[in-house]
């Protein structure tokens, strides 16, 4: 088991700061081994690399090289001015009608991994991510900007919102039982 490779993959897909203790616990690896692996990654991602390992307190995250900020921002602006893909529209619809909803719940309804799609929707400002005491994982909801873009004052103004928001067939338990 190559802890450095595993850690690098986890940090890449997380796309947010992770606590070293949480990483160690979730991977079942001693914190000291995670620290050693992080040191190796820091050495791998030098000043000339496009990727850096950012450490703030006990949290770590893979980030783009700050020297490239101007070019990354230019790319992101261009990339996210394009129309939404079918997958992004489907995910946005699930979030709009079923939110607040966790990523696994969205994936259960859609049947595919939605991590990258949700990250893109977050970057575009179309969804908000927040912690919810009723969910173990972060949950997503439609943003005010998305409502404004749709010309709506509130979610309840979406077509058939009441029936789709509370539709038992779309509950995650209902989806699981139908499989």
1-15: average pLDDT? 86
pLDDT of 136 higher than 80: no
In the chain, the percentage of residues whose pLDDT exceeds 90 is: 34
**Distance between CA atoms of residues 43 and 150, nearest Å:** 47
Model confidence band, residue 179 (pLDDT cutoffs 50, 70, 90): very low
Residue 178 has pLDDT above 80, yes or no: no
Whole-angstrom distance, CA of residue 147 vs CA of residue 137 = 24
- The whole-number pLDDT of residue 41 equals 92
For residue 145, pLDDT beyond 90: no
**pTM for this prediction:** 0.54
pLDDT tens by residue, 85-125: 899 989 999 999 998 999 999 999 999 999 889 988 988 88
DSSP 8-76: HHHHHHH-S-EEHHHHHHHHT--HHHHHHHHHHHHHHS-TTSSEEEEEETTEEEEEE-GGGHHHHHHHH
Query: How is residue 142 written in tokens?
Result: 């439609």
Q: Mind listing the domains of the chain with CATH numbers? A: 3-65 (1.10.10.10), 86-178 (1.10.10.10)
Strand partners, 129: 140
- The confidence band for 140, taking pLDDT boundaries of 50, 70 and 90, is very high
38-53: per-residue pLDDT in tens? 999 988 988 788 989 9
Per-residue pLDDT at 81: 59
pLDDT of 30 higher than 90: yes
3-state secondary structure of 88: helix
Q: Determine the distance from the C-alpha atom of residue 67 to the mean position of all C-alpha atoms in its chain, rounded to a whole number.
A: 25
Q: What is the pLDDT of residue 176?
A: 41
Rounded mean pLDDT, 165-174: 60
Q: Over 80: is that where the pLDDT of 143 sits? A: yes
Query: How much is the pLDDT for 70?
Result: 86
Paired with 130 in beta bridges are: 139
pLDDT digits (tens, 9 = 90+) for 59-81: 999 888 888 888 877 776 665 55
């Amino acid at each position: 088991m190559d802890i450095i490779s595993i850690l690098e993959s986890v940090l890449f897909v997380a796309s947010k700061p992770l606590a070293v203790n949480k990483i160690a616990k979730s991977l079942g690896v001693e914190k000291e081994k995670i620290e050693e692996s992080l040191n190796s990654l820091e050495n791998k991602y030098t000043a000339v690399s496009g990727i850096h390992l950012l450490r703030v307190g006990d949290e770590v995250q893979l980030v783009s090289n700050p020297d490239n900020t101007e070019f990354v921002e230019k790319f992101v602006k261009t990339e996210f001015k394009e129309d939404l893909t079918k997958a992004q529209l489907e995910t946005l619809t699930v979030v709009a009608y079923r939110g607040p909803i966790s990523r696994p719940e969205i994936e259960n309804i859609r049947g595919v991994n939605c991590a990258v799609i949700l990250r893109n929707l977050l970057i575009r400002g179309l969804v908000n991510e927040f912690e919810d005491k009723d969910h173990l994982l972060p949950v997503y909801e439609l943003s005010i900007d998305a409502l404004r873009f749709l010309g709506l004052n509130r979610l309840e103004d979406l077509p058939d919102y009441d029936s789709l928001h509370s539709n038992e067939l779309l509950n995650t338990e209902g989806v699981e039982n139908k499989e």
